[in-house]
Structure 1
Amino acid sequence: MSSPAVIAHRGYAGVEPENTIGAAVRAADRDETAMLEIDVQPAACGTPVVIHDERLDGTRDGRPLTDASGLVWETDLETVRDARVLGTDETVPTLAAFLEAIPATVGVNVELKNPGTADLRFAESLAPNERADRRAVWEPFVDRAIDDCDAFEGEILFSSFCEGALAAVRDVAPDYATAPLVWDDLEAGIEIARRYDCEAIHPPRNAIAGTPLATTEYGGFPGGEPAIDVVERAHGEGRAVNVWTIETWTQFDQLARAGVDGIVVEYPGVREAGTSR
């Protein structure tokens, strides 16, 4: 059994202030970390910044996400960059500053979260007559993100729940790897991966056939054995399968035995905990 690549969710958000430079640097310093997973959207000026929630005043387990407020894409860049994350001294970084701070020895999974609009068409497979319009919505922001990523010498993988984002990456910079994130429709995710010849597909942890995790509800995917073996299907088409998001070594072990290629993890050390048993 080969061991899947460890992808640090927002820089191991279970133990670190998520999506911050400090978290990323510490995660990259761990031998187990193959890739960092981050979320990117624009500040009011269009500059890509690294933050998950659409609002600065979101919460995590009852704690304010930052000490600022408002929609990220309506907030000036200075305010966004000065916002302290989860009560720490870490602040919300720009994508450019984030990539400049980490070594090229670790890859980065850049999740394109939002182009600056509430109209996302989240996790939908678009009809042919809708694709050009949705690509156009995303292209200005994707163009800015690509400019920042071009300066990074390590591996970059773009992922998104939004088909328009993947279409924009393929149009702006077709040499970058892409992956659709699956929410509640595995068949649609596979269809989108084929449409844009994506290098990978990112299903939720309970969408992997033959695992105990498949019996539990998670994210937008219901519990129950999946009708599609996404690992078999993707590997047969030459695509990697990177699964999100796990917290324990037993979950990691289940997915590793199922043959997935990468696992997005909340905590460091889960792979080593599993392989030591």
Structure 2
Amino acid sequence: MTSASRDVTVIAHRGFAGRYPENTVAAVEAAANGGPDAGHAPADMVEIDVVPTADGTPVVFHDDTLGGRADGGLTDRSGTVWETDTETVTGARVLGTGQTVPTLTEVLDAIPASVGVNVEFKNPGSDDLAFETVLSGEALAVQADIWRPFTERVLDIVFEYDNDVLVSSFYEAALSTVHEQDRSVPLAVLVASDARAGLDIARRYDCDAIHVALDTVPGTPFFDDASHAVDDLVAVAHDESRELNAYTVRTWYQARRLVGAGVDGLIADYPGLLGSEA
């Protein structure tokens, strides 16, 4: 997928969640392979979320709870994911389809080695996390202790595959524990609103990328000039040799305005938002 003048990375958010049942094997297969049957080009990278079950098995799932969405629930089962056994979690059907919650291994098995994988560290199995917060000293050490066992399990699995991998998270301690285990793993800090905090964390761990909510991107109609906004965010990221990827992109209008503002990648719910199809 390209703009008129440069390449733009297409990252399939949860496996193009607007088109396919999110974070499932069917979604990542379709997003990664594309083609005439799918009706779209393959994504450059597939984004997935990881959380543990009560047994410690990393599964690909976004929410804390199996059925906790206001519009009827993400699956046909209930309970907090990390308090529920693996068999129950992986038997849950997603969004009324025949697709069930997959393990991280099952998802990685389904993605060709030529397609990158953005693994978002969503939750290590705790309600006591410091979201989008710059930490130091004892506070960082305490949070790192919470994340470390999960980080080790996820990376052990990821290292078995040949895909290019990018680890992202809203949580500094998640990135810290990945950096601690293997500094060669590319990192991306996720920013919901506090771009200044995101830049601080990106610098601390020399993150390859910054993933920002689209309303934090200056030079677009979506920009919310709030107290934590950075008016020259695109330029700062590029001056520091970091890619700036925007989420969650759902329309062609958003895609084009974001590319025009200089972002490097679109974390998108739908394929083909810039008009390039298979």
Which is further off, 28-37 or 40-49?
28-37
How far the C-alpha of 1:59 sits from its partner, in A, is: 2.4
Question: Match for residue 219 of structure 1?
Answer: none
- Asked if 2 retains the 8 angstrom alpha-carbon contact of 1:210 and 1:225, the reply is no
Aligned to 1:211: 220
* Runs of 4 or more consecutive aligned structure 1 residues displaced over 2 Å after TM superposition: 222-228
1:11 corresponds to 2:15: yes
Name the residue aligned to 2:63: 53
Aligned residue number for residue 38 of structure 2: none
Distance 1:14 1:50 in 2: 17
76-85 or 31-40: bigger deviation = 31-40
Where does structure 2 lack aligned partners over 5 or more consecutive residues? 35-40
For residues 67 and 243 of structure 1, do their structure 2 counterparts lie closer, same or farther at Cα, with a shift above 3 Å needed? Answer: same
Letter in structure 2 aligned against 1:237: E
- 2:206 aligned partner: 197
Give the alignment's TM-score, normalised by structure 2: 0.92
Paired residue type of 2:273: V
Residue 227 of structure 1: how far off its partner (Å):
3.5
Give 5+ residue unaligned stretches, structure 1: 216-221
User: Is 2:263 the partner of 1:253?
Assistant: no
1:272 deviation in Å?
A: 1.2
- How far apart, CA to CA, are the structure 1 residues paired with 2:227 and 2:196? 15
Say how many residue pairs are matched: 267
Match of 2:106 among 97, 102, 110: 97
SS of residue paired to 1:27: helix
Shifted more, 122-131 versus 86-95: the winner is 122-131
CA apart distance, 1:3: 3.3
CA distance, structure 1, for counterparts of residue 261 and residue 59 of structure 2: 35
Larger RCO, structure (CA 8 Å, separation 6 or more): 2
| Rounded Cα–Cα distance in structure 1 between residues aligned with 2:230 and 2:121 | 28
- Residue 114 of structure 1 corresponds to 123
2:51 maps to 41
Check conservation: 2:195, 2:228, Cα contact below 8 A: no
Provide, for residues 174-203 of structure 1, a one-character-per-residue CA deviation record: whole Å limited to 9, x for no partner: 211111101221100000000111111111
**1:73 partner amino acid:** W
For 2:212, what is the secondary structure of its paired residue? coil
Preserved CA contact (<8 Å) 1:242 1:262: yes
